[in-house]
Amino acid sequence: MKQPALAQEINNAIGAHGMWKLRLRTAISMGSSDVDPRTACRDDQCPFGKWIHGPTIDTATRAGMPYQVVRRLHREFHESAGKVLSLALSSRAAEADALYNGEFIPRSEKLVRALTKWKGEVS
Answer with the residue of higher pLDDT: 9 or 74.
74
Q: State pTM to two decimals.
A: 0.92
Average per-residue pLDDT for the chain: 94
**For range 14-32, the mean pLDDT:** 94
What confidence category does residue 1 fall into, taking pLDDT thresholds of 50, 70 and 90? low
Please classify residue 12 by burial: count the beta carbons closer than 10 Å to its beta carbon, then call 0-12 exposed, 13-18 middle and 19+ buried.
middle
Domains identified in the chain and CATH numbers = 3-122 (1.20.120.30)
Single-letter amino acid code for the residue at 42 = R
